[in-house]
Amino acid sequence: MRTFLIGALLVVLSSCGVARVNYDYDSKTDFSSYSTFNYYADMETGLSELDEKRLMDALDATLGEKGYMFAEEPDLFINIKSTVFQSQGGNNVGVGLGGGGGNVGGGVSIGIPVGGPKLTRELQIDFVDANKDMLIWQAISESPFREGDTPQEKSEKLRAVVDKIFSKYPPE
């Protein structure tokens, strides 16, 4: 029983910081034909300047590992959008009261929310074919967000999100 409770606790704790990612892409695209990238000059990412630089550094490193090179006249343009929103925590405590006598019974129960709203960052990364001006790949991630993180923690979290996003790129 003790082993089960420890295992359940580890599963709950490890799932709290994981980014969820949804992908979409043009199935007719030959992703092996792309080798260079750049960012749109007029991007409005929704990130602070420092977080934008951290994210772009993580993207540059990840794309470099995948064989892509930064270029002034690229095959792919990258667009980034980010929003932070509040989501209601899913934890509740139930309180109930019941009674009965004879053949009649009744009860009342309410759920009390535990904890406040949680901040979630949605990050959208679009790859646009520079020659055709056509969206060919998109990833949208949602991950927990804390405003009080240190610069080191912010870099690590953004790197982890980028790693998760590009774990399935290029599509097979």
The percent of the chain in helix, strand and coil, each rounded to the nearest 5, is 30, 40, 30
Residue 68 inside a domain? The answer is yes
Position 57 in a domain = yes
User: What pLDDT does 8 receive?
Assistant: 42
14 lies in a domain?
no
DSSP assignment, residue 103?
T
Residue 156 lies in a domain: yes
Query: Residues with Cβ < 8 Å from 146, sequence gap 6 or more?
Result: 119
Report how far residue 122's alpha carbon sits from residue 19's, in angstroms, rounded to the nearest whole number.
Answer: 9
- pLDDT tens-digit profile, the chain (172 residues): 555 445 444 444 444 457 899 999 999 999 999 999 999 999 999 999 999 999 999 999 999 999 999 999 999 999 999 998 886 666 666 767 777 777 777 777 776 666 666 888 999 999 999 999 999 999 999 998 888 899 999 999 999 999 999 998 998 8
Structural domain contains residue 95: no
Task: Please indicate, yes or no, if residue 135 is contained in any of the structural domains.
Answer: yes
In CATH, what number is assigned to the domain containing residue 42? 3.30.160.670
- Altogether, the residues listed in the chain come to a count of 172
Residue 15 lies in a domain: no
Nearest to 85 by CA among 138, 43, 143: 143
pTM, entire model: 0.73
Structural domain boundaries, residue 42? 32-87+116-172
Tell me if 111 is assigned to some domain.
no
Q: What is the total count of domains within the chain? A: 1
